[in-house]
Structure 1
Amino acid sequence: MATVAVYSVKGGVGKTTLAANLAWCSAAISCRETLLWDLDASGGAAFLLGVDPKKKKRVTSVFSQEYDPHRLIRATGHSRLDVLPADESIRALDRQLMKIGKRKRLAKLGAGLSKKYDRIVLDCPPVLNELSAQIMRACDLVIVPLPPSPLSTRAFDLVAQEVKSAIQPHPPILPVLSMIDMRRTLHREARAQASDWPVIPLASAAEQCAVRQQPVGVFAPRSPSAQSFAQLWTAIERKLAALKK
């Protein structure tokens, strides 16, 4: 089992779209039993997979050992892919984690979920707090989407600091250039400066995920977006395999 966190301290970078599509790639391409765990209060990850939570229990209840997380998990319309949705209660999760004083509570929950799932993909909130520290302690790899801009470079530095301060040795960090438009000079320059980073292009197909509530690979499997998500997931699997050696 491996846990992959899709994390950024900056909003609007395509984080949730990336997390949902990578989770689908894990299930559809790698044939892994996969859980997409939404830790962002906006609940976008579940929405992108067409899941309406309609839960009676708040998602934060699992962190205080009041509720079995398996009972909140919802099946998607895609084989081998489930989702643990978020709700508004997750906004209070940082305070709850501080109160119960369990620094590895999220990691322990993930270990329990790993009995059923081969891959857990975390859609993380854009925060720097106890929750983000617990995410770093729980994951095997951190994916950081970065649109080409000076602010993105600063955001990556903040993420790197957070990862390194949370745990030693820290999980590897894989930066990804997201929403790249090669018609723009700034984007071409960013691509040239980080030529070895994976790239997710700016494309209407990726934007259609929210409209169709489906991963790109389902409705546009031959599109550049679908191919870039698949290539990134292949690189992630190779990285995870190398970490086990």
Structure 2
Amino acid sequence: MASIAVYSVKGGVGKTTFAVNLAWCAASISRRETLLWDLDASNGSGFLMGIDPKKKRNAESVFDLDRTPRKLIRKTDYPNLHLLPADESIRSLDRQFSRIGKRKRLAKIAAGLRKDYDRIIFDCPPVLNEVSAQVMRVADLVIVPLPPSPLSTRALKQVVEEVKGSGKSHPPILPVMSMIDMRRNLHKDARAANPKWPVIPLASAVEQCAVEQKPVGVFAPRSPAARAFAQLWTAIERKLAKG
């Protein structure tokens, strides 16, 4: 099993859209048994999948010492793809981790899911807190969506510093330029400054994910955005294969 974290230090950069579309690529293109684990209190991944969390059990309950995440995992409409949804209870996890005194609780839960899943995609909180720090300790790769701006390199350095601060070692980081429009000079300059970064274009198909509540590869499989996510997933698989 490999774990991929989609992380950003701020909202509005396409983090959740990345997580959902990459999870779909893992399940549909690579045909991996995939779990999309939403750790953002807004439940954006669940919304984009058309799945609401069950009210009887909240998202933080998966971290209780006597609970199993399997009771919270939901099937999606797509083969090989399951969702562990979030809700507002995620906001109290820092306090819960402190109460149970477990800095490796998430890693232990993820290890228990190895026999069920080939890939876990984490939709991280848009801040570095104890939750995201625990994700960084278990992730094999961190995907960082960055908007096309002269500040992108600076933003990436900030992410690297925060990820490094989560522990003595940290997983490889793959920056991805998101929402790029090559008709704009600013975007061209940002692309020229970072030519090796993968790119997800600014496209109406990506925006429609929230309207359709589906991954872009489902309703617009021939669109440039769908091809870009597929290419990004191929690059991720290659990076994981290299170790």
Which TM class, normalised by the smaller chain length?
A: over 0.9
Aligned-partner Cα distance in 1 for 2:69–2:108: 12
Aligned-partner Cα distance in 2 for 1:215–1:128: 26
CA deviation digits over 1:67-88, x for unaligned, max 9?
2101000000000000000011
- C-alpha contact 1:38 1:122 (8 A) present in aligned 2: yes
Aligned-partner Cα distance in 1 for 2:65–2:59: 11
| Correspondence list, 1:152-231, <5 A | 152-231=152-231
How many Å apart are 1:154 and its aligned residue?
3.5
How many Å apart are 1:232 and its aligned residue?
0.3
CA deviation digits over 1:187-208, x for unaligned, max 9?
1001001100000000000011
- C-alpha contact 1:142 1:172 (8 A) present in aligned 2: yes
The answer for unaligned runs of 5 or more in structure 1 is none
Aligned-partner Cα distance in 1 for 2:173–2:225: 22
How many Å apart are 1:173 and its aligned residue?
0.2
CA deviation digits over 1:210-245, x for unaligned, max 9?
1111101011111000000000000000000000xx
SS of equivalent to 1:174? strand
- C-alpha contact 1:35 1:82 (8 A) present in aligned 2: yes
CA deviation digits over 1:88-138, x for unaligned, max 9?
100111221123221111111111112200000000011122112111101
Aligned-partner Cα distance in 2 for 1:202–1:156: 20
Give the TM-score normalised by structure 1: 0.96
How many Å apart are 1:150 and its aligned residue?
4.5
Amino acid at match of 1:59: A
Amino acid at match of 2:119: R
How many Å apart are 1:153 and its aligned residue?
3.5
How many Å apart are 1:66 and its aligned residue?
3.6
| Correspondence list, 1:1-245, <5 A | 1-243=1-243
How many Å apart are 1:168 and its aligned residue?
3.5
- C-alpha contact 2:150 2:190 (8 A) present in aligned 1: no
The answer for unaligned runs of 5 or more in structure 2 is none
Question: Which deviates more, 21-30 or 111-120?
Answer: 111-120
Cα root mean square deviation, aligned: 1.2
The count of aligned residue pairs is: 243
- C-alpha contact 1:98 1:130 (8 A) present in aligned 2: no
SS of equivalent to 2:70? helix
Give the TM-score normalised by structure 2: 0.97
- C-alpha contact 2:35 2:117 (8 A) present in aligned 1: yes
CA deviation digits over 1:24-50, x for unaligned, max 9?
000000000000000000001011111
- C-alpha contact 1:10 1:155 (8 A) present in aligned 2: no
CA deviation digits over 1:168-195, x for unaligned, max 9?
4321000000000111111100100110
